[in-house]
Amino acid sequence: MAESPLPGEAPVSLNEARGWLRMGATVDDAVVAGLIRAATNICEAFIGQWLIVRAVEERIPIDAGAVRLAAQPVTGIDSLALLVPGGGERPLAEGDYRVTVGRDGSTRIAVERADDAERLRVAYRAGIADGPNGVPEAIRQGILRMTQHLHDARDGSGTAPPAAIAALWQPWRRLTLGSGR
């Protein structure tokens, strides 16, 4: 999955997690915040989609003039440029490429003429919701439960996460076969 230079906003607040964990004191807030981030990352990896919209930039090898973006679901393309040998960059206008969004949320970009370019730089935004309140409640509940599981496992117990977490996230899971690039 593509990496965003900025971490995504957490779909679950520290206060929600502290309430779920039945914690009164704020002594472990840094630990709980880290567990929320970890649970969110686990959720995004499981469902194959980013939860809250954030910006990303990818530099992708051009294969037969088409590339597939790693982050899903794409909400907007900000800019595209061909990266040419020698370090140059040639921006693309809207008529120079075609964007295709699949039923699974995957996005492919076909470049009309790549010429001597070997890579494509794509700046775009991806995510299910604009903010925490737009994330489906079942996903948020799964993140709270995963946070609790991670918190309980701090003592080193190697138990598997409860099946209820996967059941909560399953309806949003997007799978692909192969890299698609």
Encode pLDDT of 11-40 as tens digits. 999 999 999 998 877 778 999 999 999 999
- pLDDT tens track for 118-149: 899 999 999 999 999 999 999 999 999 999 99
- pLDDT tens track for 41-74: 999 999 999 999 999 999 999 877 688 999 999 9
pLDDT band at 155 (very low <50, low <70, confident <90, very high): confident
Q: Is 0.85 topped by the overall pTM?
A: no
For residues 175 and 32, give the distance between their C-alpha atoms in angstroms, rounded to a whole number: 30
- Residue 116's region, left for phi above 0, alpha for psi from -120 to 50, else beta, is alpha
Q: What is the pLDDT of residue 159?
A: 85
